[in-house]
Chain A
């Protein structure tokens, strides 16, 4: 166990844990958008900014990327932190002005107006969660960041159809601003943002479409399953 303090309160973290995780587990409220414990921290949104005092020196850092170390003092509510956090929130709000979650978070921090150029055509906050989940959890490597600076974007390869995407929907679930949508029509499923449409497999017993062909083929390949393994759907299989 590694003893640290957060806002003056003694807390214990484990080897390899980051400050954000330890703070959240202890019930502290640190706003965050790009953190998910199941994938590597990335430090993209910068919202989880805290002040860390170590050997008498203070520095600002993102809590999700900073490992717990014996004796550090973490400040989550200092004047410096609150000011920086409000600025970051304002920038995120400019990136994604239409989203309810972002609006609510901004309001809670007292960010009412945005002094930066708002781009109403953009909606993604570039948190990178979708690609990290697709890489590390799904293993499909279907999407990635492209371009630099203010032209940075999360896109399928060459802006075309994401040919590695198995349409599992994991990215749909993790996107904090809900801009990755999925639709199903007849025997097709589409991940709209990645321009990926896959044919669905029909259950031999009940006739329902239950998963994309391409995805099931990948599973069979990966887990060395018999050819007819996915002929019936999950409900019919028992």
Chain B
């Protein structure tokens, strides 16, 4: 609720930067902003395994690094597997007295491609084994680092280089994979969605995830002006619109119980969100109507789950 106007609340966050400026992210990249806020929330005692993707590439152009905390660049598919190893390693070293006992948070960080597609198996394994770590998916809804190829997290209707809009097809023909629901289905203690347009909400969710024992999964919608064909100065607004139209609701799933973080008495028409993005330029009224119908239905289902306070 503090999200409605947070000019002062954000000024109580640390001014330290653990994801330092000077990285190579595009102008208006909300994925970089998400990572910066995540790093602020976690502070100093953290080890990050970062799958390849935009956030890895922009933060580590040899010989530089934007990371002021221990950070590994791992393969595209194994962020969760590496994080499992780090977490187990820390546990053993502390048990043997080779490291002082203290809280060190283990993080796996990956894009939507690295999470919903190629990294899904490693992720499922790590969640199922119950490692004490946080998996953070920064979802910009395509493989942006390699030039805007579709992923299973790309929304219906979006034009990408491998789901191009043309005479025959109108962009992506499948619906976005529901990653938070997949994570929640592993019966883990904490799952949440967030968006850097709502910074306090995001930071509090990261802190909560860090304080919980066992696996936590955070899914962060990250506006990508380059891949979404949107103006860089609109990234924050687009994040807000994604939430206020019901396209990307903010919620938590704690031990299977759903809870909406922000609700709106009335959702905005999705057109407000769609028409600011070149990737949806070709959509007909009919398709927009089709998407809107689906968004409303899914939102209603989510609200119902939250109202009942029950799982899955």
Which residues of A are in contact with B by a Cβ distance under 8 Å?
24-27, 29, 36-38, 101, 104, 133, 137-138, 168-170, 172-174, 182-184, 189, 206-208, 210-211, 215, 234-235, 238
Contact between B4 and A206 (Cβ–Cβ < 8 Å)?
no
Q: Are B244 and A173 in contact (CB under 8 A)?
A: no
Whether B168 is near chain A, meaning CB under 8 Å from some CB there, is no
The distance in angstroms between the C-alpha atoms of A61 and B238, with both chains bound, is 49
Instruction: Give B109 Cβ to nearest chain A Cβ, in Å.
Output: 20
Residue of B nearest to A38 (CB): B12
B127 lies within 8 A of chain A by Cβ = no
- 20 additional contacts, CB 8 Å, given A104-B211, A189-B1? A24-B43, A37-B14, A37-B15, A38-B11, A38-B13, A137-B12, A168-B5, A168-B6, A169-B2, A169-B6, A170-B9, A170-B12, A182-B2, A183-B1, A206-B268, A208-B244, A210-B4, A235-B244, A235-B268, A238-B234
A36 pairs with B12, CB closer than 8 A = yes
Q: Does any Cβ of A come within 8 Å of B7's Cβ?
A: yes
Q: In the complex, what distance in Å separates the CA atom of A174 from the CA atom of B200?
A: 11
The answer to whether B240 has its CB under 8 Å from any CB of chain A is yes
The contact of A215 among B5, B13, B264, by CB within 8 Å, is B5
Q: How far is the CA of A24 from the CA of B4 in the complex (A)?
A: 31
Q: Tell me the bound Cα distance from A186 to B273 in angstroms.
A: 25
Which residues on A sit within 8 Å (CB–CB) of B1?
169, 182-184, 189
For B44, give its contact among A27, A173, A182 (CB under 8 Å). Answer: A27
Query: Shortest Cβ distance from B190 into chain A, in angstroms?
Result: 14
B contacts with A, residue count (CB < 8 A) = 30
- The answer to whether A172 touches B44, judged by C-beta atoms less than 8 angstroms apart, is no
Taking A37-B14, A238-B234 as contacts, is the C-beta distance between A138 and B240 under 8 angstroms? Answer: no
Question: Contact: B11 with A137, CB < 8 Å?
Answer: yes
A-B contact pairs, 16 of them (CB 8 A): A29-B102, A29-B103, A37-B14, A38-B13, A133-B12, A138-B8, A169-B8, A170-B11, A172-B2, A173-B200, A173-B204, A174-B12, A183-B1, A210-B5, A235-B240, A235-B244
Nearest CB in chain B to that of A172: its residue: B2
Residue of B at shortest CB range from A25? B44
Top 5 closest A-B pairs, CB basis? A169-B2, A170-B8, A211-B5, A29-B102, A173-B9
Tell yes or no: B126 within 8 A of A by CB.
no
Within 8 A of A (CB), among B261-276: 264, 266, 268
Q: Which of B8, B9, B15, B237 has the most CB of A within 10 A?
A: B8
Q: Is the CB of A137 within 8 A of B44?
A: no
B residues less than 8 Å from A208 (CB atoms): 244, 264, 266
Interface residues of B (CB under 8 A from A): 1-2, 4-9, 11-16, 43-45, 102-103, 200, 204, 211, 234, 237, 240-241, 244, 264, 266, 268
Closest residue to B7 on the A side, CB-wise? A168
CA distance A136 to B102 in the complex (A): 33
Question: Residues of A contacting B268 with CB < 8 Å?
Answer: 206, 235
Report B-chain residues with C-beta under 8 Å of the C-beta of A235: 237, 240-241, 244, 268
Complex contacts, B6 vs chain A, CB 8 Å = 168-169
Question: What is the minimal beta-carbon distance from A59 to any residue of chain B, in angstroms?
Answer: 24
Q: Which of B4, B15, B45, B103 contacts A38 (CB 8 A)?
A: B15
Question: Of all chain A residues, which has the CB nearest B269?
Answer: A206
Nearest CB to that of A24 among chain B residues? B44
Name the residue on B nearest A139 (C-beta). Answer: B8
A211 contacts B12, CB within 8 Å?
no
Residues of A within 8 A of B244 (CB): 208, 235
A79 to B5, CA, bound (A): 46
Q: Which residues of B contact A170 (CB under 8 A)?
A: 2, 8-9, 11-12
**Bound-complex Cα distance A230 to B251 (A):** 28
Q: Report chain A residues within 8 Å CB of B11.
A: 38, 137, 170
Report yes or no: A137 in contact with B241, Cβ–Cβ below 8 A: no
A211–B4 touching, CB < 8 Å: yes
Roughly how many angstroms separate A108 CA and B9 CA in the complex, as a whole number? Answer: 29
A37 CB, min distance to chain B CBs, angstroms:
6
A197 to B273, CA, bound (A): 33
**Which residues of the other chain, B, contact A168 by a CB distance below 8 angstroms?**
2, 5-9
Instruction: Choose from B234, B240, B264 the contact partner of A234 (Cβ within 8 Å).
Output: B240
Of all chain B residues, which has the CB nearest A208?
B264
A238 touches B2 (CB 8 A): no
CA distance A27 to B44 in the complex (A): 6
